[in-house]
Amino acid sequence: MPAPCNLVVLLSGTGSNLQAMIDQFRHADSLVRIRAVISNRADAPGLVRAANAGIETRVLEHAGYQGRGAFDEALMALIDGFEPSLVALAGFMRILSPGFVRHYHGRLLNIHPSLLPRYKGLHTHRRALEAGDAEHGCSVHFVTEELDGGPLVVQAAVAIAAEDTPDTLAQRVHAQEHRIYPLAIDWFAQGRLGLTPTGVVLDGHPLPASGHLIRP
C-alpha cells in the first residue's frame, strides 16, 4: 500500500474542482489527504468549500510583496509547511515564477479548460466556438515554465453542438474537469503517474504527447 499523498490546492475562485477532489477523497481509505487550500484572494468561494470540509485554509495576498519573486518565495514557504507530495492548481489566477515551477517539478499539476495545445490562456470556450471546432474539452498537465504548455497527463473531449454558447459548453467541460482532475491526482497518489526526463509515464509506460485521452 503506497504512503498517503499530502495534497495542497491553490485557487483564486469558485473551487468547483476543489469540491470534486473533496468529494472524491473524503472516504477514510483514500490515499489522498487534502492538507490545505491556499488562495491569493481572501474572498475566494473555494475557501468556504474547504472550511466546510474541515480543511485548513490560508490566504496570501500579493499586496505587500515586492514583485512576483518575493511573493512566490513566501508562497513556497507556506506550501512547504504542509509537506505536500503534490500541489494542484485549481483556478489559481497567477503566473508562477520559473523558480516556483522548478521547485515543484514533477509534483505540480494544473487543469486547463481546453484540449491543449489548443487554446492556451483565457476565453477558451468562446475561442473553440469561434473557430468552428467539432470538439472541445479539458486537460490536466504537469506544470513547466511554459504557460499551459507542460506535459499532458489526461484529456477529456466533449462534442460541440450547433446550439452551444460559451456558457453551455463551459458547463459540459467543467463536468469533465471534475472527473479527470481527481483521476490524475489519484494516479499520482498510487504511484502510477510520474514525470520523467523523457515525458509522462503511467503504469510504467510513456503516455503519448496528448496524454491519456477520454472521448465521450
Looking at beta carbons, which residue is closest to ligand GRF?
A: 91
Q: How far apart are CA 125 and CA 129, in angstroms?
A: 6
> H/E element holding 77?
helix 67-80
Secondary structure percentages of the chain, helix, strand, coil, to 5: 30, 25, 40
Assign residue 214 a region: left if phi > 0, alpha if psi is -120 to 50, beta otherwise?
Answer: beta
Q: Which is nearer to ligand GRF, 34 or 111 (CB)?
A: 111
Query: What's the min distance (Å) between Cβ of 98 and ligand GRF?
Result: 20
Q: Which amino acid is at 33?
A: R
- CB nearer to ligand GRF: give 138 or 169: 138
- Asked whether 73 and 110 are in contact (CB, 8 A), the reply is no
Identity of the residue, 77 or 211, whose beta carbon is nearer to ligand GRF in the bound complex: 211
Report CA 53 to chain centroid distance, whole Å.
19
Q: Which residues would be at the binding site for ligand GRF (CB under 6 A)?
A: 11, 13-17, 46, 90-91, 111-113, 138, 177
Closest to 128 in 3D by CA, of 74, 173, 92: 173
Number of Cβ atoms within 10 Å of the Cβ of 176: 20
Q: Would you say 21 or 189 has its CB closer to ligand GRF? A: 21
Q: Is 105 a catalytic residue?
A: no
Smallest separation, CB 139 to ligand GRF (Å): 8
Q: Which three cell numbers stand for residue 1?
A: 500500500
CB of 128 to ligand GRF, least distance (A): 13
Marked catalytic residue, from 62, 103, 112, 212: 112
As measured in angstroms, the least distance from the Cβ of 13 to ligand GRF is 4
Catalytic positions, written as ranges: 112
